[in-house]
Structure 1
Amino acid sequence: MKRSIALLLAVLPLHLVQAADAELANAVTKDYRGHLGALFDHFHRNPELSLMETKTAARLAAELREAGFVVTEGVGGTGVVAIMKNGPGPLVMMRADMDGLPVLEKSGLPNASTVTGKDREGNLWPVTHACGHDVHMTSLVGTARQMAARRGQWSGTLMLIGQPAEERVAGANAMMKDHVWERFGRPDYALAFHVVSDVEAGKITVSEGSPYSGSDTVEILVHGVGAHGASPHRGKDPVMLGSQIVVALQTIISREREPHEAAVITVGSFHAGTKANIISDSAKLQLTVRSENAQTRAALLDAIRRVAVNTARANGVAENQLPEVKVMDEATPPTINDAALTRRLKLAWTDKLGAQIFDQNYQRSGMGAEDFPFFTTKPYIPSVYFGVGGTSRQVLDAAANGGAPVPSHHSPIFKIEPEPAVRTGVEATVTAMMALMKKPA
């Protein structure tokens, strides 16, 4: 692969590569300082919660219309679909998520969010873009403006999607249930990116494997027999039983899965009882389960049921009171980049942006999940999901040398460098689209 890239670059006139890089970079920089910077500031100051992104969607739709796209709002709730037809060729989709998080921003930034918003259940929360979706939306608009200005250089149909409720892994599925492909066309290729706080601003990351894991939410309702806390022998204690289940679940990973296989079971919530001296008659566990292929997912879910039910049996729980294990609708498949398309885009990025655009030192950490695969799995659409750096080299180096750690996504002190992140997002996306929709000679 490296040899192929080197051979390609060797035959390209260097002055043409540099000219192409400079022209796009200069145009995006000018647009950021004249328009996109203020747009980012607006999005950052005015986040909205998942499934409630009405004002955000309206502003995004207005920006895309102004760029010359035919825009439809209200797709799958608050989703936005923008289409630009520009002759024969492939239909290429780019997605940006729109929702903020129920987090009180403590970044200390001058444009820190101070807004509150109600979720669908009527609960009032502070809201902030603590995951970088403001970068994604701003870059989507920047991409629209650059592609519109370059219509003479590409041919095909461009589809830009503003997706709601990524944080609740619900928005992509909602748009698919609203027949987005039947209404607007099924893409030949699908793209998305996420700003990454522990990647240097101005660089990108991409892999041929799985950049994001699949995720399932599981609830276990443990049944017991209520009793006085001073007489535990007269009941069946669901707290004790639930605790045994929590510990036993970890043996699924440590003793049943191959050591190099990526898998996580985390019990994030355990609720039971009302008072110190009362043995409750039930306990509720909530789990997040992460996997990276269908076989591992099935094995984990089957093992969770087996452990829960048989731990209860071992404690003498009656057959009609065994734990209820429910896999919730809040689930998403793993994100898997199409290998051939990834290699094709790597060549394009190396050609136009230079080999230095890639952060070669980045190592994926954790098993975060995404709902983007709902767009690309059934039916299968070749797709690439890449990362865009969001933190300056100086801050990363300081953290590596014992300084303040870089805030993680979803942290109240999360922050990124907006200008290099947005500019890199636009340049990488435009470069990818121009490669996929190259106008015939």
Structure 2
Amino acid sequence: MKKNRIAFAALLLTTLGLQAQSSLDFKKITVLSNADGDRLVTIFKDIHANPELGFMEVRTAAIVAKELKSLGFTVMTGIGKTGVVATLKNGDGPIVMYRADMDCNAVKETTGLPYASAKMMVNPDGIEVPVAHLCGHDAHTTWMLGIAKNMVAMKNQWKGTLIMIGQPAEEPGGGAAAMEAEMYKKGVPEPDYLLGMHTAPLEVGYYLNAAGPRMAGADQFDVTFHGIGGHGSSPNLAVDPIVMAANAILQYQTIISRNNEPQAPAVITVGAVQAGIDNNVIPASATLKLNTRFFNYTVRDSILKRIERVNLGIAIANNLPKELYPTLTMKGRVSPLTNDKMMVDKIDVALEKLVGPGKNIQGFPAVMGSEDFQHLVINNKKTVYDYFLVGIASAADSAKARKEGKMFPYSNHNGDFKVDLTAIPFGVTLGTTALLEMFQK
């Protein structure tokens, strides 16, 4: 009996030893990422200074394609208009897809950084606007290039197929769907797992990875009020669409405050009002650009129906003929993002071994911000994905914010949003670790 216990103990120690040998080489991941830091920062600054709007990421996509092709990936370009798909086969094993979005915001940068964007672009509406990476997609793209290089350097530590996605047009919400509709028909294999990361104004060194609902669904659409134009001095001879639009803006907010279930999160935002040119002319139309957020599709459908009822009521109150009733044009739609628990738990174990305990910020509720990342797999047989947040704020900026009683030093889509350069290699270490973990049995 004693001999059996000794034999069992020896077997257990051997097994544990084998497990230790087959675990990820966290030191190598960190060394590789830091050693590549200068190159990656140069790429990041270049992409940051040369932002491109959704479905216009020609220059950025070319950088992604060139870098991944040089690493030995099989590269497809022009997927979903400007998307890039790069595939690396490394024996038999899981198929894991990693996604980075490439587009920027139509917001003027105010950071004052030496590599800040001063670019202007003509948007899809034909309006020249300032553009800047104020949501971190420049970091996302750079992270992916660093992760790809690490995965090639560590090919002896994983087996399977790695697919890197450079995605266009996350901001308007249609880029992932455009790629999904095309890439699988062109032979891209459906992944077993989908992984992605997003910048967050947490301090560098911290991240947030949690299971379940994490981001809201969203609709983006335009409502156009059609009126009867005329001279500003004779409003009685016209039907003013600007007044109708202003009335609608106020009524839309009562949908949330008075019609929506208080414990069912929802948001209606009018992000732009477009109407008229001259001071003394009542225009023939006014357009409102709306964005809604939701977690529940019943809530979503109710919001849309009530918006349309508000529009119709305003038209009837202004005695408009049916041909001049308001029109609603849907431009983009994304589903709520819900992280897979198994995948989150598996990755969390590896990330904690990499950076130590206490770095995964817990307790944050799901946010009303939205993503289209999940639409890359939403129609597949397997829809297992994890999307987590990575801290990009400097220690100094974070400390200053805390002293001022602020939760974060800045926010996404604001002109002062910035990525501390130390977040570039840090994000690469996290992404590499998470990817490698998903290839482990």
TM-score computed with the length of structure 1 as normaliser: 0.86
Name the CA shift for 1:240/1:125 in 2 (closer, same or farther; >3 Å): closer
* Pair 1:28-2:33 in alignment: yes
Q: What's the counterpart of residue 9 of structure 2?
A: none
Name the CA shift for 1:17/1:426 in 2 (closer, same or farther; >3 Å): farther
CA contact (8 A) 1:408 1:414 kept: yes
CA contact (8 A) 2:272 2:288 kept: yes
CA contact (8 A) 1:220 1:323 kept: no
Name the CA shift for 1:325/1:151 in 2 (closer, same or farther; >3 Å): same
Name the CA shift for 1:91/1:44 in 2 (closer, same or farther; >3 Å): same
Provide Cα deviations, 1:50-105, integer angstroms capped at 9, x if missing partner.
Answer: 22222221221121122222222222222111111111111100011112334443
Whichever residue aligns with residue 260 of structure 1, its letter is Q
Q: What's the counterpart of residue 213 of structure 2?
A: 210
Q: CA deviation at 1:214?
A: 1.8
Provide Cα deviations, 1:122-163, integer angstroms capped at 9, x if missing partner.
Answer: 655544322211211111111111111111111111001111
User: What is the number of residues matched between the two proteins?
Assistant: 424
Q: What's the counterpart of residue 373 of structure 2?
A: 372
Whichever residue aligns with residue 73 of structure 1, its letter is T
Q: What's the counterpart of residue 72 of structure 2?
A: 68
* Pair 1:401-2:406 in alignment: no
SS of equivalent residue, structure 1 residue 211: strand
Which consecutive residues of structure 2, in runs of 5 or more, have no partner in the other structure?
A: 1-14
Whichever residue aligns with residue 376 of structure 1, its letter is V
SS of equivalent residue, structure 2 residue 269: strand
CA contact (8 A) 2:143 2:427 kept: yes
Name the CA distance, whole Å, in 2 between partners of 1:85 and 1:19: 20
Q: What's the counterpart of residue 294 of structure 2?
A: 291
TM-score computed with the length of structure 2 as normaliser: 0.86
Q: What's the counterpart of residue 140 of structure 1?
A: 144
CA contact (8 A) 1:292 1:334 kept: yes
Name the CA distance, whole Å, in 2 between partners of 1:181 and 1:294: 29
Name the CA shift for 1:112/1:171 in 2 (closer, same or farther; >3 Å): same
Name the CA shift for 1:285/1:176 in 2 (closer, same or farther; >3 Å): same
Q: What's the counterpart of residue 303 of structure 2?
A: 300
CA contact (8 A) 1:105 1:412 kept: yes
Name the CA shift for 1:124/1:18 in 2 (closer, same or farther; >3 Å): same
SS of equivalent residue, structure 2 residue 220: strand
CA contact (8 A) 2:222 2:331 kept: no
The equivalences for 1:313-392 within 5 A come to 313=316, 315=317, 317-318=319-320, 320=322, 323-360=325-362, 367-379=368-380, 381-392=383-394
Provide Cα deviations, 1:197-236, integer angstroms capped at 9, x if missing partner.
Answer: 2x11121112223333222123223234456656655554
Name the CA distance, whole Å, in 1 between partners of 2:428 and 2:73: 17
CA contact (8 A) 1:135 1:418 kept: no
CA contact (8 A) 1:192 1:384 kept: yes
CA contact (8 A) 1:203 1:424 kept: no
Match for residue 315 of structure 2 among 312, 315, 319: 312
* Pair 1:245-2:248 in alignment: yes
Q: What's the counterpart of residue 6 of structure 1?
A: none
CA contact (8 A) 1:52 1:119 kept: no
Q: CA deviation at 1:177?
A: 2.5
Q: What's the counterpart of residue 183 of structure 1?
A: 187
Q: What's the counterpart of residue 8 of structure 1?
A: none
Q: CA deviation at 1:418?
A: 2.0
Whichever residue aligns with residue 200 of structure 1, its letter is E
Name the CA shift for 1:110/1:225 in 2 (closer, same or farther; >3 Å): closer
SS of equivalent residue, structure 1 residue 260: coil
Name the CA distance, whole Å, in 2 between partners of 1:43 and 1:222: 39
| Bigger shift: residues 424-433 or 229-238 | 229-238
The RMSD of aligned alpha carbons is 3.0
Q: What's the counterpart of residue 92 of structure 1?
A: 96
* Pair 1:128-2:129 in alignment: no
Name the % identity.
37
Q: CA deviation at 1:109?
A: 1.7
Name the CA shift for 1:257/1:149 in 2 (closer, same or farther; >3 Å): same
CA contact (8 A) 2:203 2:394 kept: yes
| Bigger shift: residues 225-234 or 24-33 | 225-234
Provide Cα deviations, 1:259-315, integer angstroms capped at 9, x if missing partner.
Answer: 1221111122334455566555543322111112322211111111122213433x2
